[in-house]
Amino acid sequence: MIEQKDEVLANHLTNRGMDDKMVMGHPAGLFVLFFTEMWERFSYYGMRALLTTFLISEIAKGGWGWTNESAMSLYGWYTMLVYATPIIGGYIADKLTGQRKAILIGALLMTLGHASMALEGFEKNFFFLGLGLMILGNGMFKPNISSMVGQLYPNTSSKKDAGYTIFYMGINAGSFLGSLLCGYLGEKIGWHYGFGLAGIFMFFGMLQFFVAQRVFGVIGEQPKKETAAIMDEEETPKNVVRDRLVVVAILMIASIFFFLAFEQAGGSMTIFAKNYTQRVLDGTHAITFKWLDALLTIIPIGAVTFVLFKLSAKIFDKYPLTIIFTLLSFASIAALGIWKVYREFTAVDTEVTVAWFQILNAFFIVTFASLFSKLWEKVWNPSGPVKFALGLILVGIGFIVLAYGSSSIPKGAETAAVSMIWLILAYFFHTMGELCLSPVGLSYVSKLSPKKLLGLIFGFWFLASAIANKIGASMGGMIDKISQEYSMSVFFLIIAALPIVVALVLLLLNPMLKKKMHGIN
């Protein structure tokens, strides 16, 4: 089937020195960014899947034996700084380096950070040095790769939201594989193996982006080189810019209430999975899980490999090293996946790792991202505030499910063994909420922000996530206190209430916010 050419999009790409070849109806450059971000998220979520569990695990099992509250405190500071530093990285890229160099600097720093964490068995300070390097690297990397996605499309393109959703699928493919494989190696073999594996694939991501830079034309170059290419954009009136920035600010505030709940995945939900969920399986349950886990390992690797082959058909002749490096990384991932499946099928006991539950969010996104992309593009495309409200309501429902599932846990209990189904359902609702909010948020920041400040404003978007992560971790650290004084259900209901209330406020403000967007939807 021959793809129908989007002339407006093709002209936009040509004016920026890019090839107008399309992959699945989108610029080929989108998929280079897709794979770069995928490996970065592999490294980040692979490490995050282990962080809290490593800190609270017994010293006899190689962990540090920290209390839940202490682990949540470090987790909160780390995730806050990871999302706060992009405001600096966005400014540096806007004023000095351009997005491309910032991405490469960030990738190098994060690779060194993971390598340092892998040495924690020799000296504990390597662990903290690694966290610091990853914080700095993420600050340079994260806002700039997101802003480059937005620059691939004109603001009027109906494909922009869909492009961000596809990009978001890449983020979550990396999250899925990282949580699955780094989590498995860390918990089953040794913590430092999990931390080290995360760094190896960050290095792969850096290499494949480095050799593919020409695919972006002038997009992401140093600011002085890029200025001439974007002079064709109309000067936006100051009152319109101001109104649109007000909308961006309100959406950022709303996102804080989403992410303080959503990011419990690495905090209180990890504690719930480790101490309160039945993870040792036997009989038919064990056999069923082994087959399910095998399918969840092999099928996603195959699906993302299919996307890689689609990209290679378009750009291999011009950028062979990019495809070769990415193929090598996928061959390594496939080998690890097959080894993991074989090891589990030959094991006597079946124990679900704590990190396994964190793959569910990414799995649901990879499964449903295309559906949401088509929904917004062809079926129903409500305003940004309505999409945000839907996301907030759905993440609240996820915690209502957990509150119900934990209702049988006695007040003050330190361990329990409730069914895995409640965590699985919670992750499902959280993911549906994320698909309504996160990729849409990235797209609206790109569409509503002045181009000369795009990197900086993306930095503010991630600053909102930083605030949410710190507040969320502080709330997660109260899980023991609230469970002892009231119950585990009350703890989850408190978290559920906050995003649902904010969703109702957004729905009330929707007419006013639509006017302030001045035609952008």
Q: 415: how many CB neighbours lie within 10 A of its CB?
A: 9
Per residue in 377-393, pLDDT (tens digit) is 788 888 889 999 999 99
231 found inside a domain? no
Per residue in 20-57, pLDDT (tens digit) is 778 888 888 888 898 899 999 999 999 988 999 999 99
**pLDDT at residue number 449:** 85
Beta-bridged to residue 418, according to DSSP, are 277
**The domain that contains 147 carries what CATH number?**
1.20.1250.20
**pLDDT at residue number 232:** 43
Q: Residues 439, 476: one domain? A: yes
**pLDDT at residue number 4:** 56
pLDDT at 233 over 60: no
Per residue in 432-476, pLDDT (tens digit) is 999 899 878 877 887 888 877 776 787 788 789 899 999 999 999
Q: Predicted confidence band at 227 (pLDDT cuts at 50, 70, 90)?
A: very low
How much of the chain is helix, strand and coil, in % rounded to 5?
80, 0, 20
Q: At 65, is the secondary structure helix, strand, or coil?
A: coil
**pLDDT at residue number 455:** 67
Q: Residues 189, 323: one domain? A: yes
Q: Residues 118, 258: one domain? A: no
Domain boundary among 293, 319, 351: 351
Q: Residues 107, 248: one domain? A: no
Domain boundary among 300, 331, 351: 351
Q: Residues 80, 117: one domain? A: yes
Per residue in 92-116, pLDDT (tens digit) is 988 888 899 999 999 999 999 999 9
Q: Which pTM was predicted?
A: 0.84
Enclosing domain of residue 76:
9-221+282-351
Three-class HEC string of 225-256:
HHHHHHCCCCCCCHHHHHHHHHHHHHHHHHHH
Q: Residues 147, 177: one domain? A: yes
1 found inside a domain? no
Three-class HEC string of 405-458:
HCCCCCCCCCCCCECCHHHHHHHHHHHHHHHHHHHHHHHHHHHHCCHHHHHHHH
Q: Residues 205, 312: one domain? A: yes
Q: Residues 178, 300: one domain? A: yes
389 found inside a domain? yes
Q: Residues 65, 157: one domain? A: yes
**pLDDT at residue number 16:** 82
Number of domains in the chain: 2
184 found inside a domain? yes
Beta-bridged to residue 27, according to DSSP, are 22
Distance CA 429, CA 427 (A): 6
Q: Predicted confidence band at 501 (pLDDT cuts at 50, 70, 90)?
A: very high
40 found inside a domain? yes
Distance CA 515, CA 508 (A): 13
Q: Residues 330, 366: one domain? A: no
